[in-house]
Every structure is written in C-alpha cells, then in structure tokens.
Amino acid sequence: MSVEPSDADLALKVLAGSESASRALVGRYASPAVNFAFRMVGDRGLAEDLAQEAFLRVFQRLDSYDPQRRFASWFFQVLRNVAIDYLRAHRLDTTSLDELSEAGFQPAAEYSASCSPEGMAVRGEVKNAMAAALARIRPEYREVVVLRYQEGLTHPEIAEVLGVPVGTVKTNLHRARKALSALLKPFAAASRKVEESD
Amino acid sequence: MSDQDRLAAWLEREDAADEESAEAAFANAYALIERIDARPEFILRTATLGRKVRLRRRRLSRLAWAAAAVAVAGAMTFVAGMAVPVSVWVVKVIALAISNAAPWLVAYSTGAISLWWFVVRVGGPLATAVDSPAAASALVGVELVGILAFYALYRIIQFENEGEVPV
C-alpha cells in the first residue's frame, strides 16, 4: 500500500527539480483552483488563466514556503490575490452587477439574465439557480462560501487565507447564507408553483 | 431527496434561525453545485510552465550568487589596492616617529642610568655602615629620641593654644 506524499513533501521535491512532483502538485490543486477562480470570475477560460497564474507565482516563490504551514492555505491565499487583482483591474464587482448589465456587460452564460429564477424553476435547475445566486452575492461573501463548502477549509484556515479574524469569517459565512437564501426564495416559490401545477 | 427538497430544507432551517442545522442543510444544498474538473492538458501545461519558472528562478539565483561573488572579489581587490598606499604611509609615519623619538629615548635612558648609578654609590656605603647590630641600635635610639622630641613640641603647641601652659 503506497502512502500519498504530503503537499510539503511534494513542494520539497519540486524545489529539488522533480518533474513528477510538479505534475502531482498541480494535479492535486488544479480542480480546486479552477473551481475557486471560476466562482470568482464566472468564466472557465479566465478561471484557468488565473489558476495558472497562481500556480506560477507559487512555483516562483516556493523557496519561501514554510512546510509547517498548510500548503492549501498558502496556495489559496495566492490564488485569491490573483483573482482579487483581476477583479479590481477589470472592476468586476458583483455588488454592481446590475449596473454592469445596464452598461452592456454580459456575464458568463451560466449567470446570464435568461437564467431567471422562474425560468430555472420551470426547468427544475436547482444547481444552476444555486450557482447563479452564488455569482450574485458580494465577492467577500462568495469567497468564504467557496473556501468553506467547496474546498473544505476550516474557519481558521479561511481566516489565514483572507488575512482576517476568524470572527469575520463566521460573520461573512452567516451573511452569505442569508443573502443566498434571499436570492433563492423566489426560485423555491416558483418551483413549488410549477410542481403544484403539474 | 430531490434537489428541490434539499433546497427547501435549507431555506426552512435558515428561516428557523437554527444556525447549526441551517449550516448543515446549506452544505447539503451547496453540494448540488457542479464542480469543474481541470482538464489534463491544463495540468500538464501548468506543471511544465511551473517547472520552467523554477528552472529559470534557479538559474537566476545562481547568476545572482555568481554576480555577488564577483562583486565581492572586485570590492576586495579595490580595497586591497587602496590599502597598499595607505599601509606605506602608515609605515613612513611610524618610522619617522621612531627616528624622532630615538634621541629623546637615549637621553632619558642615560639620565635614568646616571641617577641609578648615584643611588648605588651613595646607598652602598650607608647600608654597609648600618649593617651591624650596634650601628642599628644607635640609629633606632636616635630615631626614638627624635620622635619623642617631636611629640613634646606638639604637646607644648597644643597647651599654648588652649591658654594653659604647664608649669
């Protein structure tokens, strides 16, 4: 039975110049990275670019990685900075998504205006409604939700990634859930109506 | 449990303001969101690029060390080049100081030797004269008489100051 090498072991092997360790480390974090970036920017191609940029930054600064620290926290910190830099540079702030839509900005297909709660309810697309609602909440709420429920990070780890107190993480998670429930209630009501009419 | 049921269960618990069960129900509903799997070509491309970045970084680091070593060697050569004229100047100053100090040193040494010679010449006979029991006793007696005389003089002065001269 072979034991999976830890992230720290892989990082040390990458530092020593191992090609297989590079592939293993990227393979381990590629999907979480693309998922996180996708939830932040809403475009797969762009998410891959941002994830790749994060990996390159991590590889570049691997000398400064402390093996005592969890690699995932460090990696997501870098990735989050890359995503935030991109959002700032392109002013893709979901708090003003309506304004952007009015100005002609077209979000990714998954979140387009055609995906109204009623429309999705008719199609019974709960997962799409959830994703669309997630895309509409504030980025600081979205990132904690993704890190907690998608990547499985603990509250202290999220606090480390975001550089905020644990209390702030818990508050943002609570507010994020409230915001999501407010956005999804019309969808749930419409779903019920569709079910009743059937 | 259908997707709609999972969503409804979470929304109900959220309305009930039961934090713990609402969180668990939300996690259950959130799991519905589709996850994206990274494409194998993305992994390969990123790993290759990452490795190139590391190699470039290592090469740059080695170059930086080599440049630093060259810079240190250059600096040391420069300092050594500056140090040679400085050391020549220091040697000249020291030589001049020594050459100027030598006559004084000789003069003072001569004076000291002369004084020593005088002390030896005078002290020798004195020591020989005292170097017998009789002479030593006489000397101690004279010393004692002298001390007593000084003490008597001191007492007289003391009484005079107090206005009571003893009869």
Reading the block at residue A179, the tokens are: 């915001």
pLDDT in tens, A52-101: 999 999 998 888 888 888 899 999 999 999 999 998 888 654 444 444 44
Alpha carbon of A113: minimum distance to chain B alpha carbons (Å): 19
Give residue B60's pLDDT band: very low, low, confident or very high (50, 70, 90): confident
- pLDDT at residue A92, as a whole number: 53
Give the range among A76-90, A101-115, A124-138 with minimum mean pLDDT. A101-115
CB proximity B24 to A under 8 Å: no
Class of domain A1-92: mainly alpha
pLDDT in tens, B66-110: 999 999 998 988 888 877 778 888 888 999 998 888 888 888 888
pLDDT above 80 for A36 = yes
Arithmetic mean of pLDDT, A155-181:
93
Residue of A nearest to B45 (CA): A52
- Say which of A31, A185, A187 has its CB closest to residue B38: A31
Q: In whole numbers, what is the pLDDT of chain B averaged over residues?
A: 86
Arithmetic mean of pLDDT, B12-20:
85
- pLDDT at residue A108, as a whole number: 43
For residue A124, which residues of chain B lie inside 8 Å, CB to CB?
A: 3-4
CB proximity B41 to A under 8 Å: no
Residue B42 to residue A174, Cβ atoms within 8 A: no
CA atoms within 13 A of residue B16's CA, in its CB half-sphere? 13
| Residue A61: CB atoms within 10 Å | 13
pLDDT in tens, B115-125: 898 888 888 87
Taking the C-alpha atoms of residue B49 and residue B72, their distance in angstroms, rounded to an integer, is 34
Residue A59 to residue B54, Cβ atoms within 8 A: yes
pLDDT above 80 for B129 = no
- pLDDT at residue A116, as a whole number: 59
Name the nearest CA neighbour of A8 among A76, A64, A63, A66.
A66
Q: What is the 3-state secondary structure (H, E, C) of chain A?
A: CCCCCCHHHHHHHHHCCCHHHHHHHHHHHHHHHHHHHHHHHCCHHHHHHHHHHHHHHHHHCHHHCCCCCCHHHHHHHHHHHHHHHHHHHHCCCHHHHHHHHHCCCCCCHHHCCCCCHHHHHHHCCHHHHHHHHHHHCCHHHHHHHHHHHHCCCCHHHHHHHHCCCHHHHHHHHHHHHHHHHHHHHHHHHHHHHHHHHC
Give residue A106's pLDDT band: very low, low, confident or very high (50, 70, 90): very low
* Chain A, window 64-123: residues with a beta carbon less than 8 angstroms from a chain B beta carbon: none
| Residue A72: CB atoms within 10 Å | 19
3-state percent breakdown (helix, strand, coil) of chain B, nearest 5: 85, 0, 15
Reading the block at residue A183, the tokens are: 């956005």
- pLDDT at residue A2, as a whole number: 66
CATH code of A94-198, in short, is 1.10.10.10
- pLDDT at residue A115, as a whole number: 53
Buried b (16+ CB within 10 A) or exposed e, A99-134: eeeeeeeebbeebeeebebeebbeeebbbbbbbbbb
Q: Is the ipTM of this complex over 0.85?
A: no
| The model's pTM | 0.63
Q: Are A11 and A25 in contact (CB under 8 A)?
A: yes
pLDDT above 80 for A121 = no
- pLDDT at residue A187, as a whole number: 83
CB proximity B20 to A under 8 Å: no
The structural domains of chain A, with segments of one domain joined by +, span: 1-92, 94-198
pLDDT above 60 for B159 = yes
Arithmetic mean of pLDDT, B128-146:
83
Taking the C-alpha atoms of residue A152 and residue B106, their distance in angstroms, rounded to an integer, is 92
pLDDT above 70 for A136 = yes
Instruction: Taking the CA atoms of B54, B59, B60 and B66 in sequence, report the sign of the dihedral they define.
Output: positive
